[in-house]
Amino acid sequence: MQNIIDVQGLKKEFKSFSSRSGLKGAFRDLFTRNYTIKTAVDDISFTIKKGEMVGYIGENGAGKSTSIKMLTGILTPTDGKIVVNGMNPHKEREKFVKTIGVVFGQRSQLWWDIAVQESFRLLKKIYNVPDQQYEEHMKDVIETLDIGPLLDKPVRKLSLGQRMRCELAAALIHNPPLLFLDEPTIGLDVLVKLKIREFLKRINEKYGTTILLTTHDLSDIEALCERVVMLDEGKIIYDGPLKELRENWAEGKQIQFQFSEEATLEELQHLTQEHLVVWEKGESDLVWVASVEAEETVISGVIGKVTAAKKIADLKILEISTEEIIRNIYVEGAVRHG
């Protein structure tokens, strides 16, 4: 299949000037200014195929927004090659942006003072969308996002969740084959999040829309994306299936025992000495957590030994969450490949 996005050696540096102190410093600033170079995106390469939904993740300041701004033609790269939808985004900007949709969760794309449908009408004109196509497509979008009742309200009177759904609809007026979403679910409640996820899934299935999204909410990624690209300090540290990331990192399982009687570390270690187990005390004196290898014989062996010797009130097997995996990766700073 063809590549919708092809990025090679992409780099963005920001020069920031600092001023010297004092009068003498100010005078020297007139001639030579001190500056530091911040490399926000550092030599990244990746490709995205048609119809993919890719999660673009990383800590604050990792360079996600900067990459997206280069991919959408807003910023000019310092170095590297970008081909998106067969075009160079910032060179053929006006022609290019007709083929993409963009949503920035932190910033409104709509006109503040006018009613939502007036915004839509202006955008329809700007994108030169034929009436018939607009009617057909937008009717569906408005229905799915459930924004019909909001259409005659000015944007400034909408709640964040309402606005966000309108923003999404606005980004889709020209039914673009490629959608960039920068933190589309920031600050939204669970119900709105679910609605938005459902909607994205739907347009991906229905129109084969390719979607690249950044988020700090990993459940978004789990719900939508098979593939993640992980960024750290401007570099890609992982690019692959979410599943693989989980498998390679979530090697262990945790078994949480709640005992009805007091237990000691020595006692528990003695009980499970034939397995490799790390015992840790849980929230109370009666709760103990055993970290073990994710292997059936070990898990059932440990449970069998412990329950045979001691009375328990409750038992849980905990999976390590994606959240935790990602946190571990950030801490270690690189990804082990399995």
Partner 1 sequence: MEYISIFFQYVGQYLKTRLTYRADMIVEIFSDLLFQAVNLVFILVVFGHTNLLAGWSKDEMIFIYGFFLVPFSIFASFFNIWDFTDRYIVKGEMDRILTRPVHSLFQIVLERMELESLFGVVTGLVVMFYAGDKLGLEISWYDPFIFILLVIGGALVYAGIFIALATIGFWSDSRTDIMPMMYNIGNYGRYPVDIYNKVIKYVLTWILPFAFVGVYPSSYFLKREEWYTYAFLTPVVGLVFFLIAVTLWNVGVTKYRGAGN
Ligand X SMILES: Nc1ncnc2c1ncn2[C@@H]1O[C@H](COP(=O)(O)OP(=O)(O)OP(=O)(O)O)[C@@H](O)[C@H]1O
Q: How many chain residues are in contact with partner 1, going by CB under 8 A?
A: 32
Does 72 contact Mg ion by CB under 5 A?
no
Residue span binding ligand X (CB under 6 A) among the ranges 19-27, 60-68, 186-194, 197-205: 60-68
Binding residue (CB under 6 A) for ligand X from 66, 108, 162, 185 = 66
Does 65 contact ligand X by CB under 6 A?
yes
**C-alpha Rg value of the chain to the nearest Å:** 26
Does 98 contact partner 1 by CB under 8 A?
yes
199 three-state secondary structure = helix
Binding residue (CB under 6 A) for ligand X from 61, 154, 161, 252 = 61
Tokens found for residue 279: 């015992």
β-bridge partners, 279: 290
First CA to last CA distance, the chain? 27
Binding residue (CB under 8 A) for partner 1 from 128, 132, 284, 297 = 128
Tokens found for residue 228: 């993640």
Residues 312 and 18: their CA atoms lie apart, in Å, by: 63
Which residue's Cβ lies closest to Mg ion?
65
Does 24 contact partner 1 by CB under 8 A?
no
Q: Toward Mg ion, which CB reaches closer, 63 or 89?
A: 63
Tokens found for residue 111: 């006109």
Q: Which residue has the tokens 């503040």?
A: 112
Residue span binding ligand X (CB under 6 A) among the ranges 43-51, 59-67, 90-98, 160-168: 59-67
Residues 290 and 267: their CA atoms lie apart, in Å, by: 13
The CB-of-67 to Mg ion minimum distance in angstroms stands at 9
Residue span binding partner 1 (CB under 8 A) among the ranges 101-109, 195-203, 207-215, 263-271: 101-109
Count Cβ atoms within 10 A of the Cβ of residue 301 and give its class: 0-12 exposed, 13-18 middle, 19 or more buried.
Answer: middle
Among candidate residues 94, 103, 77, 86, the one with its CA nearest the CA of residue 50: 86
The CB-of-174 to partner 1 minimum distance in angstroms stands at 9
Tokens found for residue 74: 């807003």
Q: Toward ligand X, which CB reaches closer, 13 or 324?
A: 13
Binding residue (CB under 6 A) for ligand X from 16, 32, 36, 128 = 16
Does 60 contact ligand X by CB under 6 A?
yes
DSSP state of 107: S
Binding residue (CB under 8 A) for partner 1 from 5, 41, 48, 73 = 73
Tokens found for residue 109: 């794309």
322 phi and psi, to 5 degrees?
Answer: -55, -40
CA torsion, points 90, 95, 98, 99, in degrees to nearest 10?
A: -70
Q: Toward partner 1, which CB reaches closer, 174 or 227?
A: 174
Does 65 contact Mg ion by CB under 5 A?
yes
Selection from Mg ion, partner 1, ligand X, none that 293 binds (CB < 5 to 8 A by kind) is none
Does 130 contact partner 1 by CB under 8 A?
no
Does 55 contact ligand X by CB under 6 A?
no
Task: Tell me the pairing of strands 278-281 and 287-293.
Answer: antiparallel
Tokens found for residue 82: 């970008």
Binding residue (CB under 6 A) for ligand X from 7, 10, 62, 230 = 62
Q: Toward ligand X, which CB reaches closer, 60 or 284?
A: 60
Close Cβ partners of 132 (under 8 Å, ≥ 6 residues apart): none
Q: Which residues bind Mg ion (CB under 5 A)?
A: 65
Binding stretches for ligand X (CB under 6 A): 14, 16, 38, 40, 58, 60-66
